[in-house]
Amino acid sequence: MPRYLVVQAPEDGVRLITLQRPEALNALNTELLAELAAELDSADRDPAIAVVVITGNRKAFAAGADIREMAERDLVGILNDPRVAHWQRIAAFSKPLIAAVNGFALGGGCELVMCADIVIAGEDARFGQPEINLGIIPGAGGTQRLLRAVGKPLAMQMVLTGESISARHAQQAGLVSEVSQPELTVERAMQIGAAIARKAPLAVRLAKEALLKAADTDLATGLRLERHAFTLLAGTADRAEGIRAFQEKRPAHFQGQ
Ligand code: DAK
């Protein structure tokens, strides 16, 4: 049983993971990150799960790495930091990951948001990389993914000043896909998760892989990957079912084959 997570399955095919460390604004200590990495590994292996939604509470999605824990680490501790591997496992999750964000998403919290594929933010959400205030820089992709998401000027401003931005600003900048009323954030994320869970699983997986590739490769390589994935799907039973269902004017029933 995880100590810092609540794991639920409120919708068919969708797992809801709630960060549960409210006394520290869901600060991401090593144990929480290990639990999260293990949950995502298990969801990746489970064919009954198509999508994971991750959320926090109304005050904080996550206020970053645990600063108390960071204070105890010396240089050797940082070189052997187990959190690096946890972050790598979180970022490697191959099914769609949706973040439902209310309140603070700062430092590692903002980096966790950027590991998600779809981001629904409550109007009160704040996104920022305040590490500069601690004399450090982001350590879980905050310089790399933020720049790719929002472009150079805003990424520079956020990382160099440590100042956070609103949900609306984050949406305009490309960090957030939709802004909702804070009380509806999780519901909206679950709705999107359930819609994706009804699609053909192999197509969903390859679509995510191809879209992620677009962010870190040249166009010719990305187009080649897309063509391979497209061709692979041509042989699936789900493609035949999708086309048949369209012609028969009924919903498709995909099997992941
Ligand atoms: N760590 C530990 N405790 C935290 C915390 C954090 N990041 N953020 C808040 N808390 C705790 C507070 O200490 C306080 O605890 P008590 O004093 O009540 O025991 C409680 O949560 C409530 O916080 P506040 O009293 O401060 O609440 P306020 O509403 O006044 O302020 C705030 C909210 C979010 C503005 C403020 O708490 C704040 O500035 N928090 C720190 C935000 C921050 O600097 N975050 C970035 C941390 S550095 C790595 C990967 C990633 C990283 C590092 C390494 N590797 C792969 C190696 C990431 C680094 C970071 O994220």
Query: Measuring from atom 27 of ligand 1, which residue has the nearest CA?
Result: 25
CA-based nearest residue to 155, from 209, 114, 101, 212: 114
Are 164 and 125 in contact by the 8 Å Cβ rule? The answer is no
Residues 241 and 175 placed together within one structural domain of the fold: no
Q: How confident is the model at residue 30 (pLDDT cuts 50, 70, 90)?
A: very high
Q: Are residues 77 and 149 in the same domain?
A: yes
Say if ligand 1 is within 6 A of residue 163 CB: no
Of the pLDDT bands very low, low, confident and very high (cuts 50, 70, 90), residue 11 is: confident
Work out whether strand 5-11 and strand 14-19 pair parallel, antiparallel, or are unpaired: antiparallel
| 60-62, strands of its sheet edge to edge | 60-62, 104-106, 126-128, 165-166
Same structural domain for residues 222 and 113?
Answer: no
Return the biggest CA–CA distance within the chain: 65
For residue 119, what is the enclosing H or E element? strand 118-122
Q: Residue 209: inside a domain, yes or no?
A: yes
Both 220 and 122 in one domain: the answer is no
Task: Give the pLDDT band (50/70/90) at residue 215.
Answer: confident
Q: Is the CB of 65 under 6 A from ligand 1?
A: yes
Q: What is the pLDDT of residue 7?
A: 97
Is 131 among the catalytic positions?
Answer: yes
Which residue, chain included where needed, has tokens 């041509």? 234
C-alpha to C-alpha distances, 230 to 64, 154, 206, 227, 236, nearest whole angstrom:
38, 35, 8, 5, 11
For residue 219, the enclosing domain spans 201-247
Supply the residue whose CA is at minimum distance from atom 36 of ligand 1. 63
pLDDT of residue 94: 96
CB of 63 shorter than 6 A to ligand 1: yes
Q: Confirm if 33 and 87 have CB atoms less than 8 A apart.
A: yes
Specify whether 234 is located in the same domain as 165. Answer: no
CB-ligand 1 contact for 83 (6 Å cutoff): yes
Burial of 179 (0-12, 13-18, 19+ CB in 10 A): buried
In-domain check, residue 252: no
Residue 62 CA to ligand 1 center (angstroms) comes to 8
Q: Which atom of ligand 1 is nearest to the CA of 108?
A: 61
Out of 111, 170, 173, 193, the active site residue is 111
Tell me if 81 CB under 6 Å of ligand 1.
Answer: yes
Residues 162 and 36 in one domain: yes
Q: What is the pLDDT of residue 194?
A: 97
The one catalytic residue among 37, 65, 155, 173:
65
In a domain, 255, yes or no: no
What pLDDT sits at residue 92?
96
- Asked if 242 is an active-site residue, the reply is no
Active site residue 163: no
Question: Given this model, what pLDDT does residue 221 score?
Answer: 96
For 92-119, what is the mean pLDDT? 98
Question: Based on the domain organization, do 188 and 242 belong to the same domain?
Answer: no
**What percent of the chain lies above the pLDDT cut of 90?**
93
Q: Is residue 257 part of a domain?
A: no
Do residue 73 and residue 176 come from a single domain? yes
Whether the Cβ atoms of residue 96 and residue 116 lie closer than 8 Å to each other: no
Q: Is residue 189 situated within a structural domain? A: yes
Cβ–ligand 1 contact at 91 (below 6 Å): no
pLDDT, position 10: 84
What does the pLDDT read at residue 73? 82
CATH number at residue 210: 1.10.12
For the ranges 103-107, 172-176, 215-219, the lowest mean pLDDT is seen at 215-219
pLDDT tens, position by position, 221-231: 999 999 999 99
pLDDT digits (tens, 9 = 90+) for 135-193: 999 999 999 999 999 999 999 999 999 999 999 999 999 999 999 999 999 999 999 99
Residue 209 shares a structural domain with residue 106: no
Whether the per-residue pLDDT at 126 is higher than 90: the answer is yes
Q: Are residues 63 and 131 in the same domain?
A: yes
How many domains in the chain?
Answer: 2
**Residue 110 and residue 231 in one domain:** no
Assess whether the C-beta atom of 15 lies below 6 angstroms from ligand 1. no
* 53-92 tens-digit pLDDT: 999 999 999 999 999 999 888 888 888 889 999 999 999 9
pTM greater than 0.75 (yes/no): yes
Active site residue 65: yes
Ligand 1 centre to CA of 28 (Å) is 9
Q: What is the pLDDT of residues 241-257, one digit of tens each?
A: 999 999 999 999 999 99
Q: Whose CA is nearest to atom 34 of ligand 1?
A: 63
Is 256 among the domain residues?
A: no
